[in-house]
């Protein structure tokens, strides 16, 4: 397993956000169901065509979309283990709240000495389930309101 490069997310400048939005608008409609995506690089010493997997191109479009909104982006490999603070930040909860969730068994973790480590894939699975539960509860409330004629 290669070491994970730790990059500090940077909030894009206004100019970078505009470039990101324009680039996303060019890429997004061209993705379709392609298995690879060819890019022509003109700023290299010799013009070269670079081929990237379509999944990487879709990820690039998502990154550009977030940047165009002025958001910083952080990429974490799914096999990576997060600290409790990183995991809390991803769930948008406090670190003590996350630790309580871990101790209640809501999210699997392991201990390295006295430190808790959470696999990204497990944390994101929990987050997806939480969001699905919220959507289901909202749909139930909407149905109830419709029954009452509100």
Q: What is the pLDDT of residues 45-55, one digit of tens each?
A: 676 788 888 88
> Do 61 and 91 belong to one domain?
no
pLDDT for residue 1 is more than 50: no
Residue 126 inside a domain? The answer is yes
The DSSP code for 44 is: S
> Do 55 and 89 belong to one domain?
no
Instruction: Indicate the number of domains in the chain.
Output: 2
Which domain covers residue 110, as residue numbers? 81-148
Q: DSSP states of 13-27 as a string? A: PHHHHHHHHHHHHHH
Give the tens place of pLDDT for each residue, 19-70.
Answer: 999 999 988 888 776 677 777 777 766 767 888 888 888 889 999 999 999 9
> Do 59 and 87 belong to one domain?
no
What are the C-alpha distances in Å from 116 to residues 93, 98, 99, 129? 16, 11, 9, 22
> So what's the pLDDT on residue 2?
45
Q: pTM to 2 decimals? A: 0.60
Residue 93 makes CB contacts below 8 A (sequence gap 6+) with 101
Residue 74 inside a domain? The answer is no
pLDDT band at 145 (very low <50, low <70, confident <90, very high): confident
pLDDT for residue 76 is more than 90: no
For residue 50, give both structure tokens: 């670079």
For residue 97, give both structure tokens: 């709240």
pLDDT, mean of residues 130-141: 92
pLDDT for residue 129 is more than 90: yes
Residue 2 inside a domain? The answer is no
Q: What CATH number has the domain bearing residue 123?
A: 1.10.1660
- What is the overall mean pLDDT for the chain? 86
């Amino acid at each position: 397993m290669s070491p994970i490069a730790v990059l500090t997310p940077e909030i894009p400048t206004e100019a970078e956000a505009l470039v990101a939005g324009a680039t996303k608008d060019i890429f997004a409609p061209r993705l379709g169901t392609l298995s690879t995506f060819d890019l022509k690089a003109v700023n290299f010493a010799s013009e070269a065509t670079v081929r990237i997997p379509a999944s990487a191109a879709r990820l690039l479009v998502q990154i550009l979309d977030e940047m165009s909104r002025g958001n910083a982006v952080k990429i974490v490999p799914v096999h990576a283990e997060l600290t409790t603070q990183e995991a809390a930040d991803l769930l948008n909860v406090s670190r003590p709240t996350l630790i309580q969730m871990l101790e209640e068994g809501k999210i699997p973790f392991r201990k390295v000495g006295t430190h808790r480590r959470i696999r990204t894939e497990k944390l994101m699975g929990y987050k997806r389930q939480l969001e699905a539960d919220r959507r289901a509860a909202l749909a139930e409330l909407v149905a109830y309101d419709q029954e009452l004629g509100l």
